Amino acid sequence: MAVNTHSEPAKMEQIITEFFAKSLHIILESRCPFVSSRNYSGEQLHSTSSSASSSSSIRPRDKWFNLALRDCPAALENTDFWRQSNLEPMVVDVVLVQRPNWDYVSGSSKVAVEQNLLSKDRFPVVWKSDCDEFGCDGYSEKVIERWIVRYESKKGCKEGSLGNKRSSSITSHALYKKSILLLRSLYVTVRLLPGYKIFREISSSGQIRSFSLIHRVSSSVEPLSRRDEAEMQQFTFTPVDTSCGKLCISLLYLPSISDTTSESSTPMSPQFITDYVGSPLADPLKRLPSAPLPQYSPSSSPYGRRHSWSYDTSMASPPSSLPSPSPTYSESRALYSKFGSHRPPISPRYSSLEPAQVHAKDIGYDEYFPSPNFSPSPSPSPPIGSGNMLKVLLRSDSAPVYIPASRLGDAPLSSNKAVLPFSPPLKAIGPSISLVERSSSIPSTATKLSLREEEISRPSGVKISSSSSPHKSSFRSFSRLSFEDSYDDSEFSGPFVVDDDDTMDPGSRPGSSDRSGNLGMQHERVKSQDAAVGALVQMLKKAPPLQQDLNRSQYVSKTSRPEYSSNQVQDHPPRASSNMSSFSRVSGIKTTADALEELKGYVDVKQMLLKQSGKP
Amino acid sequence: MNCEVCQLKELDVEYFEIREVLRCILHTIFFHRALGLVRPKDVDLELFEITYVQCGDAELEKKVDEKIDQFIDRVEKHPNKKNQICLSFFEVKNKQATWFTHKVEHLYWEQWYINLNVAHHPKPHSGKSHHSKLVLDPGESALDERNARRATLESSLHEVLFQIIKFVNEKKDHIPPIPNMEGVSFPYEITISSSSDSAFGMDMFKRMLQTGHPTMLS
């Protein structure tokens, strides 16, 4: 033990100081994915070759409380303040940061890219999913855990006289032993909380996450909103008495993280996405009999990620430009893997919250699928996309709002150790894993704006930096490749395009206008002559590239298929119109007359098809 | 010295779950009782979404596994419903030979009782019962039932872990001074008892007679 050489009060004080440091270390070690060396590779878990035995050197820091921890720079740089014998409370907030939800679903990346190519600054919001949380508004933040480590001194006791009065009753050895016990409990508890699953999720796989964890270490308690606090559960460790006070650790935590996600400020919650990505994948066959819109989009392919395309392609892409920037793809994958594969096992544990979730989900569902037609369909993406798209477009007109900036103003952070969520990499910051990399290139808060632009100009790199995985490099290159592809509408050499070809039903391959044209005639379609379809496919394959198609397809679906918009997607008209406006703003390449011209062509084809299929 | 006793919540487990459940519980206890220098090792359960912590002490790990093997063996041979594992911590006192003949005395200061209710599939009576012991039923509902049961067990196990944490937190005064060995737990023993419901108390009583009631030792 490291407490031999000093007087009893000095020892006590040192123990208390080290206790703060160790507590912080324990908490951050399992909440700060960037520094984690947690070996999470299945096989090794039960073997002896874990970090426990591999790093056998014991540093002085490890000896404290007989608990050797892994390195955690974030913890080290934050403990200085409390090491200076300031017996102030230490408040550690663990914050879940989520990207705005509509980014996954909207499938609007194509549009987003175009908009940004033309006017980077006008629609910064659209870019959010593709840049990162840094400085972007719309990111939902949620405190999922609040740890408070504090030393409560008894009245009449001053720090300087620690242990003087009743040193006989509590020795430093007793204090030390109990501190060890408390820290062991802390160590175990940290791993049993829902937040640990998020940490694991982030740090264990190579997928790009739609969420990340950041932490703030401060010496003052920034009040949580009443709503947040009401949701949280409290856990208080039994305080350890010292001769002149007591050491306390208390915890507020969200008992269910998925509960959190339903709380996000945007109406679109990951909850919804769970449904959306997960269900087709969970049961691809189930969709076939019930899906009312098999031709609506490539969503007829049995993979969840198709759904992330569906909206995109149905409204924006001609057959030859199926590729869209990879972010959509990776987001949905990431989301799926989190909520699709991991959520079910989580939920039973916090089963008390399940009903609420289900309820929320239902509401969301109903909201977007009022049509009975739609309800059995596990492919809700198009309407979601549309609803969100609308929001995107609406919001894109307003100036970006920096949440962090407002926080700066609100937060009653009194100490120099106060950590601001998105502020740049001053040493006092407890940077989030994903922020760390980034922050090194960012000099100060003042440059936030320019940073944003910089990110916009090379989004893939920045975005990928949030991945702390071994697959990072491959992901990076992949993402960049596909991103570059997206600059060129007519090119589609992204790997996943080939993929699409493999699995896509030839009948649903044709471009958007075909798809929308087919929507209202599923029955006819079944009977329709292959030849006619083939001809249509041929024609569509020769169809001009995306931008023209955008207008066309929107127009078609809006004007010529009223039953579609009313039956299938209630909020379709607003979507179409908003899209129209944005497109005209964006492209402006084709005149309305041109569009109408082409539209007529398609309408004719459709009429022909209808006739043919109706007669035989 | 007091002997604190902690009866952990009974868990309904299936045969194949015993190992993980016991590992998780035993190591969690040990982590709180191996107060020497440890380098903790996180272990994710395979059957449940739970991460527990080991001390990173190979010797201890080995002993725990041995005991679990022993336990499983015994469950297999004597398929009793109720099974109990007791993890006891004691101090060794070299007693001077007085009127009592023992030379070495175990001063128990803490006992943890892990209670397992092991379901045995082949039992005919458990066919479609609503009991939590689950049966291999090839039907569709069996899968649901199985999942539900698994979820229940996971949450119960979670509860047990928090029970351990709470106990550790609340009871600190009875723990003897930390032995001067690195990473090694206080002296401990793991005893297994399984019996039918009726004989259970008797068994406990016998064991108490053998080891001496804790309170008599203080």
The pLDDT of B30-59, averaged and rounded, is 88
Rounded Cα–Cα distance for residues A150 and A20 (Å): 8
Q: Residues B117, B14: contact at Cβ < 8 Å?
A: no
Residues of B within 8 A of A185 (CB-CB) are 32, 165, 168-169
Residues of B within 8 A of A184 (CB-CB) are 31-32, 35, 168
- A606 CA: distance to closest CA in chain B (Å): 46
Cβ within 8 Å of residue B133, ≥6 positions away: B12, B14, B117, B118, B119, B120, B126
List, in sequence order, the alpha helices (H) in A350-469.
354-368, 381-396, 403-410, 433-439, 448-457, 459-464
Residue A338 has what pLDDT?
A: 36
Q: Among A50, A185, A196, whose Cβ lies nearest the Cβ of B168?
A: A185
Residue A6 has what pLDDT?
A: 60
Both tokens assigned to B60? 């201890």
Q: Residues A163, A8: contact at Cβ < 8 Å?
A: yes
Q: How many Cβ atoms from other residues are within 10 Å of residue B212's Cβ?
A: 14
Residue A361 has what pLDDT?
A: 36
The pLDDT of A543-572, averaged and rounded, is 44
- What is the CA angle B60-B64-B68, rounded to 5? 170
> Given a cut of 70, is residue A125 above it in pLDDT?
no
Query: What value of ipTM does the predicted structure carry?
Result: 0.82
Residue B97 has what pLDDT?
A: 61
Nearest to A259 by CA among A334, A355, A147: A355
What's the sign of the alpha-carbon dihedral A127, A129, A135, A139? positive
Q: Please, is A42 exposed, middle or buried when counting C-beta atoms within 10 Å of its C-beta (0-12, 13-18, 19+)?
A: exposed
Residue A111 has what pLDDT?
A: 33
The pLDDT of A195-213, averaged and rounded, is 76
> Given a cut of 50, is residue A570 above it in pLDDT?
no
The model's pLDDT over A443-465, given as tens digits with 9 standing for 90+, comes to 333 333 333 444 444 433 333 33
CB–CB of B155 and A349 under 8 A?
yes
> Given a cut of 70, is residue B150 above it in pLDDT?
yes
Residue B165 has what pLDDT?
A: 92
The model's pLDDT over A227-270, given as tens digits with 9 standing for 90+, comes to 777 788 888 888 888 877 888 898 888 887 764 443 333 333 33
- A434 CA: distance to closest CA in chain B (Å): 23
Most A CBs within 10 Å: which of B30, B39, B54, as the mutation test of the A interface? B39
> Given a cut of 50, is residue A301 above it in pLDDT?
no
List, in sequence order, the alpha helices (H) in chain B.
18-33, 58-77, 140-170, 197-211, 214-217
Residues of A within 8 A of B36 (CB-CB) are 66
Residues of B within 8 A of A173 (CB-CB) are 177
- What is the CA angle A334-A337-A342, rounded to 5? 140
Residue B86 has what pLDDT?
A: 92
Which backbone phi and psi does B4 adopt, to 5 degrees? -85, 135
Residue B156 has what pLDDT?
A: 92
What's the sign of the alpha-carbon dihedral A67, A68, A74, A76? positive
Which tops the pLDDT comparison, B160 or A73?
A: B160
Residues of A within 8 A of B148 (CB-CB) are 348
> What's the whole-number average pLDDT of chain A?
54
Rounded Cα–Cα distance for residues A6 and A163 (Å): 13
Which tops the pLDDT comparison, A595 or A357?
A: A595
Q: Which residues pair with B13 in a beta bridge?
A: B118
Q: How far is CA B93 from CA B4, B96, B102, B109, B210, in A?
A: 18, 9, 10, 12, 17
CB–CB of B169 and A181 under 8 A?
yes
CB–CB of B175 and A45 under 8 A?
no
Q: How many Cβ atoms from other residues are within 10 Å of residue A173's Cβ?
A: 15
> Given a cut of 70, is residue A538 above it in pLDDT?
yes
Rounded Cα–Cα distance for residues A175 and A181 (Å): 10
Both tokens assigned to A47? 């073997």
CB–CB of B32 and A238 under 8 A?
no
> Given a cut of 70, is residue B106 above it in pLDDT?
yes
Rounded Cα–Cα distance for residues A13 and A8 (Å): 9
Residues of B within 8 A of A52 (CB-CB) are 39-41, 54, 56
Residue A271 has what pLDDT?
A: 38
> Given a cut of 90, is residue B164 above it in pLDDT?
yes
Q: Among B151, B154, B169, whose Cβ lies nearest the Cβ of A238?
A: B169
Chain B CA closest to residue A174: B177
Most A CBs within 10 Å: which of B172, B174, B182, B185, as the mutation test of the A interface? B172
Residue A313 has what pLDDT?
A: 33
- A178 CA: distance to closest CA in chain B (Å): 7
Rounded Cα–Cα distance for residues A486 and A482 (Å): 6
Q: Among A46, A185, A346, whose Cβ lies nearest the Cβ of B169?
A: A185
pLDDT range class, residue B67, cuts 50, 70, 90: very high
For A145, the enclosing helix (H) or strand (E) is strand A140-153
Rounded Cα–Cα distance for residues A68 and A441 (Å): 33
Rounded Cα–Cα distance for residues A400 and A136 (Å): 7
Rounded Cα–Cα distance for residues A212 and B2 (Å): 47
Q: Which of A214-223, A293-302, A482-491, B61-70 has the highest mean pLDDT?
A: B61-70
Q: How many Cβ atoms from other residues are within 10 Å of residue B195's Cβ?
A: 17
Nearest to A314 by CA among A29, A591, A564: A564
Residue A206 has what pLDDT?
A: 64
Nearest to A551 by CA among A586, A585, A583: A583
> Given a cut of 70, is residue B17 above it in pLDDT?
yes
Q: Among B170, B175, B177, whose Cβ lies nearest the Cβ of A238?
A: B170
- B210 CA: distance to closest CA in chain A (Å): 31
Q: Among B38, B43, B152, whose Cβ lies nearest the Cβ of A67?
A: B38
- Tell me the helix, strand and coil percentages in chain A, rounded to 5: 60, 10, 35
Residue A11 has what pLDDT?
A: 81
The pLDDT of A75-96, averaged and rounded, is 76
The model's pLDDT over A142-196, given as tens digits with 9 standing for 90+, comes to 888 889 888 888 766 654 444 444 445 678 788 888 888 999 999 999 999 888 8
Q: What burial letters (b/e) apply to A397-417, b meaning 16+ CB within 10 Å?
A: eeebebbbbebeeebebeeeb
Residue A264 has what pLDDT?
A: 37
Q: Please, is A255 exposed, middle or buried when counting C-beta atoms within 10 Å of its C-beta (0-12, 13-18, 19+)?
A: middle
Which tops the pLDDT comparison, A42 or A88?
A: A88
Q: Residues B60, B34: contact at Cβ < 8 Å?
A: yes
All structural domains of chain B: 4-217 (3.30.900)
The pLDDT of A350-361, averaged and rounded, is 35
Residue A325 has what pLDDT?
A: 39
| Of the listed ranges A40-49, A564-573, B51-60, B79-88, the one predicted with least confidence | A40-49
- Distance from chain centroid for Cα A44: 28
Q: What is the CA radius of gyration of chain B?
A: 19
> Given a cut of 50, is residue B13 above it in pLDDT?
yes
Residue A156 has what pLDDT?
A: 63
Q: Residues A22, A67: contact at Cβ < 8 Å?
A: yes
Residues of B within 8 A of A53 (CB-CB) are 39, 56, 58
* Percentage, residues of chain A above pLDDT 70: 32
The model's pLDDT over B124-141, given as tens digits with 9 standing for 90+, comes to 444 444 444 444 555 677
Which tops the pLDDT comparison, B213 or A358?
A: B213
Both tokens assigned to A417? 């150790």
> Given a cut of 90, is residue B163 above it in pLDDT?
yes
> What's the whole-number average pLDDT of chain B?
78
